[in-house]
Structure 1
Amino acid sequence: MSSTDKVFAGSIPKIYDEYLVPLIFAHYAADIARRVAALSPSTLLETAAGTGAVTRAVTAALPPGIRYVATDLNEPMLAIAAQRQADDNRITWRPADATALPFDDAAFDVVCCQFGAMFFPDRIKGYAEAKRVLRPEGTFVFNVWDRIEENVFADEATAVLGKIFPDDPPRFMARTPHGYHDKAVINADLEQAGFRHISIETLPAVSRAPTPEYVAFAYCQGTPLRNEIEARDASKLEAATDAVAEAIRMRHGPGPVEARIQALVITARP
């Protein structure tokens, strides 16, 4: 993982929340919320909460009496999440590292995490922390993106940027968000962390946007892909975004556009 892969700063968090969440995250947030609600937790921890896509979906699906702690290592992202749900007193917002959680053992019925495990510097440690804070009959529910070839817009954006910067292609999307998709590896990591009852489900969906420009802006300027583009040539950010939009327009039409996305949803119990 590059040192810039976890940097969600500047204008990225706001663009991420306004553009990328509806584009690719909202569907899977609703899925996580359904799974969590079915477990009827009284205490719930969310790690890597980002700008709160799952937090909003889960709180809408759960009754008033729950205790919900939402955490993220990246404070600018968490600030947006907290601002959007400032009137929900069920939620405690707390900056925290998923690989070193500041909570007691056996404190939660459920731990959930949406598209965060790919960013953990030590996934086994992160999973072990989730297990530590879970009650003995608790459940860890999380998801990760499948390989980039199954996520069409991300794959197309990566291909275009590779042509713009052929000597040093920006590979953030393939390297990190879509870099942890081997089911055998995920299962082995969870087992090493102490989980024994593990299920991994492939869940396809459709990503939709009003225009190709929307998609290009979301990926090129609402993710750490922006950091990679600017590190190579900051003056090319707009041109790179336009090139991605043109490629999507050529393949999918002028809009509205849609394409396949796919994730893995994992449920694990001790």
Structure 2
Amino acid sequence: MQTLKKAEAGQVETAAAAIYDRAFVPALFGQFAPMLADAAAIAPGEHVLDVGCGTGVAALAAAELTGSKGHVAAVDINPGMLAVARSKSDAIEWIEAPAESLPLADGQFDAVMCQFALMFFADRTAALREMARVTKPGGRIALLVWEVLDRTPAYDRLVPLVGEIAGPDAAAALAAPFSLGSIGDIKDEIDRAGLKLAEHGVLTGTARHASLDAWIDTEIGGWTLSDMVSADRLRRLKAAARHHLAAHIGANGRVAFPAPARLVMIRP
């Protein structure tokens, strides 16, 4: 099914990208960008590449550390995401290209970052090899992927609930970000690329939304499910979620839950 393939590749339209940036970045993704930049040990004057940059949150965090004497480039295949990213900074070199075929010179970057994008690449082996190719000798590659679904609170209940109400394709699309959370699976991907895992660990953030409805609206409208869930099914999903996800709703109606992610370092 073409819609599902698009969803599994993390592709969104510009309207959904704007919702993603306005809602998901402050609620979830934004907090990880400085963590990833710190883990990659980005320093002033360095050249840094962000692969699968989305709306640019990690690239912007890197640019704060490289300063005016450094250079940050950011690549994404999704024009909707890049349209939002380009509006944020003229100092970053925004490039529309696939991760599997980077239009960049060998050994160009001190550090390469990839925040929550590896699981969406069509050919992960090729993408990892490309990251290594453009990294300078002695440089580093820093990756973040979400933990597996059964170790991710709230989503472990939301995904099957979406499956019940919106069908298996919608559930598969929502589960796609968690498909590479096992360290064994990540190591296998790195081994296939002919690279070596240097170190790994878990970083845990907190997902925060103003309400349960706000979270579900963000999840559906700001991600790959925007054209997969009808208005009627969205209403049914919100009603069912009030019971199934009640444990994550605070007394003030706000939603908060841990968001574990796996950090992986490669030194090509």
TM-score for both structures, normalised by structure 1: 0.88
> Structure 2: how far apart are the matches of 1:167 and 1:191?
31
CA change 1:169–1:192 in 2 (3 A) is: closer
CA-based RMSD: 2.2
> Structure 1: how far apart are the matches of 2:240 and 2:112?
36
Which digits, 9 at most, give the CA deviation of each residue in 1:206-255, with x for residues without a partner?
Answer: 212222122111111111022332xxxx3425415533653476333352
> 1:3 is matched with which residue?
5
| 1:111 aligned onto 2:112 | yes
> 2:214 is matched with which residue?
214
| Mapping of residues 107-146 of structure 1, within 5 Å | 107-146=108-147
Paired residue type of 1:48:
G
Partner SS for 1:226: coil
| Mapping of residues 210-249 of structure 1, within 5 Å | 210-229=210-229, 234-236=230-232, 238-240=234-236, 242-243=238-239, 246-247=242-243
1:130 Cα deviation from its structure 2 partner: 0.5
> 1:165 is matched with which residue?
166
- Name whichever of 185-194 and 17-26 sits farther off: 185-194
Contact 1:209 1:255 in 2 (8 A): no
CA change 1:206–1:244 in 2 (3 A) is: farther
1:264 Cα deviation from its structure 2 partner: 0.5
> 1:94 is matched with which residue?
95
1:60 Cα deviation from its structure 2 partner: 2.1
CA change 1:40–1:149 in 2 (3 A) is: farther
> Structure 2: how far apart are the matches of 1:71 and 1:169?
27
Paired residue type of 2:183:
K
Partner SS for 2:194: coil
1:169 Cα deviation from its structure 2 partner: 5.5
- Number of positions where the alignment pairs a residue of Structure 1 with one of Structure 2: 262
| 1:150 aligned onto 2:172 | no
> Structure 1: how far apart are the matches of 2:169 and 2:53?
31
Contact 1:205 1:261 in 2 (8 A): yes
> Structure 2: how far apart are the matches of 1:132 and 1:247?
49
> Structure 2: how far apart are the matches of 1:108 and 1:169?
38
> 2:74 is matched with which residue?
70
Contact 2:165 2:233 in 1 (8 A): no
Contact 1:15 1:221 in 2 (8 A): yes
| Mapping of residues 32-71 of structure 1, within 5 Å | 32-38=36-42, 42-71=46-75
CA change 1:63–1:161 in 2 (3 A) is: same
CA change 1:263–1:139 in 2 (3 A) is: same
Partner SS for 1:143: strand
Contact 1:160 1:247 in 2 (8 A): no
> 1:191 is matched with which residue?
191
Q: What runs of 5+ residues in structure 2 fail to find an aligned partner?
A: none
Contact 1:37 1:62 in 2 (8 A): no
Partner SS for 1:109: strand
1:153 Cα deviation from its structure 2 partner: 3.1
Which digits, 9 at most, give the CA deviation of each residue in 1:118-173, with x for residues without a partner?
Answer: 00111111100111111111111111001122322323322322221357653212
> Structure 1: how far apart are the matches of 2:153 and 2:81?
25
Contact 1:212 1:255 in 2 (8 A): yes
CA change 1:178–1:104 in 2 (3 A) is: same
> Structure 2: how far apart are the matches of 1:172 and 1:61?
34
Partner SS for 2:40: helix
Q: What runs of 5+ residues in structure 1 fail to find an aligned partner?
A: none
> Structure 2: how far apart are the matches of 1:255 and 1:60?
35
Q: Share of identical aligned residues, percent?
A: 26
Paired residue type of 1:211:
S
CA change 1:81–1:236 in 2 (3 A) is: same
Paired residue type of 1:252:
H
> 1:15 is matched with which residue?
19
